[in-house]
Amino acid sequence: MQHALVTGAGGFIGGHLVKHLEAQGATVRGVDVKPLEEWYQVSDSAESFVADVSTQAGAEQSVQGVDTVFNLAADMGGMGFIENNKALCMLSVLTSTHTLVEAHKAGVQRYFYSSSACVYAAEHQTSPEVVPLKEEDAYPAMPEDGYGWEKLFSERMCRHFEEDYGFVARVARFHNIYGPEGTYDGGREKAPAAISRKVAQAKLSGDHTIEIWGDGEQTRSFTYIDDCLDGILRITASDITEPLNLGSDQLVTINQLVDIVEDIAGVKLERRYKLDAPQGVRGRNSDNTRIQKLLGWAPSITLEDGLEKTYHWVYDQLSA
């Protein structure tokens, strides 16, 4: 890998990936549909420009002269956004389609697609004491409505491009990636950033209350961004043709997540539960057996350490 393209470079994971690839010695082009001033990170040394890769013209322009494509572009957010914007989430299939077609036409050597744990059927995620999800649990298919269907369909496109055209495509199923330099308000943020924001606001304002969506007993695992970046590069460079889970297997309730952030902030808050808010599945965790066996990857950063970095970054943004 010498010349890489990152789509969605103005987003949370994409911005981190651009800098990580440059640190590995790659020349990087980053594109995003958002104006540059709205990108979370813009590398001074990368080639960065605005392009809409959900169009054929934007995708064709973006893939020229690169040997590796990392497709992270998608219209998505946290559970509140996903549950209320199913059509927008489904339209990301245009991004997957055009980047695959144009990358193949341009002779790109490797293509990475960022899928999601939302491809897994809800029937496997009905209890907080959820059995960790294995890759084969995606079938028979009944993924998260909207966002999950688009991700699963795009996974299949990657598979068939490899089978029919010999095009090298690799897929990772992300499990709740979090960290600094990302969305922490506005409706698209995920739980670690949202809770970090709420705790920081409570500390700054002196109003020691916090709203929690649901009863707080729903469970998730959360993956720090540095572990995600390491996993992306390992999967992209591998010969593994099937999708792989890329996530932490450290399962916590949302109430426990709040406990951790409270301890970091040095506050104790009164909890107010919004039971009619979007909650998603009751429990979700990653089974990392396959990626550990095949690629030797496992998370290296604990939830406590990752949340400490995330909380302090969010706190600094709010206090500034």
Whether residue 102 lies inside any domain: the answer is yes
Asked if 44 and 55 sit in the same domain, the reply is yes
Q: Residue 208's domain spans which residues?
A: 181-220+251-287+301-319
**Element of type H or E holding 205:** helix 191-205
Q: What is the pLDDT of residues 227-264, one digit of tens each?
A: 999 999 999 999 999 999 999 999 999 999 999 999 99
Residue 293 lies in a domain: no
138-168: pLDDT as tens digits: 999 999 999 999 999 999 999 999 999 999 9
Q: Are residues 99 and 213 in the same domain?
A: no
Q: Are 40 and 205 in contact (CB under 8 A)?
A: no
Does residue 158 share a domain with residue 87?
Answer: yes
Residue 294 falls inside a structural domain: no
Residue 282 belongs to a domain with what CATH number?
3.90.25.10
Predicted confidence at residue 146, as pLDDT, reads 94
- State whether 59 and 115 are in the same domain: yes
* Residues whose CB is less than 8 angstroms from the CB of residue 210 and which lie 6 or more positions away in sequence, other chains included: 195, 198, 199, 202, 258, 269, 270, 271, 272
What are the angstrom distances between the C-alpha of 228 and each of 73, 105, 109, 153?
16, 29, 22, 22
Count CB-CB contacts under 10 A for residue 284.
Answer: 24
Q: Which residues of the chain register pLDDT less than 50?
A: none
d(CA 208, CA 201): 9
Asked if residue 200 and residue 123 are part of one domain, the reply reads no
Amino acid present at 190? K
Q: Give the pLDDT score at 81.
A: 83
**What are 24's two structure tokens?**
């590995």
Cβ proximity of 118 and 150 under 8 Å? no
Q: How far apart are CA 133 and CA 252, in angstroms?
A: 15
Beta bridge mates, 209: 270
Same domain, residue pair 278 and 139: no
User: How many Cβ atoms are within 10 Å of 2's Cβ, its own excluded?
Assistant: 10
Residues 73 and 196 occupy one common structural domain: no
Q: How many domains does the chain have?
A: 2
Q: Which residues are catalytic?
A: 147
Residues 197 and 114 in one domain: no
For residue 219, give Cα distances in angstroms to 2, 125, 213, 250, 251. Answer: 40, 9, 12, 10, 6
* Residue whose entry in the numeric block shows the structure tokens 């491009």: 161
Asked if 132 and 173 sit in the same domain, the reply is: yes
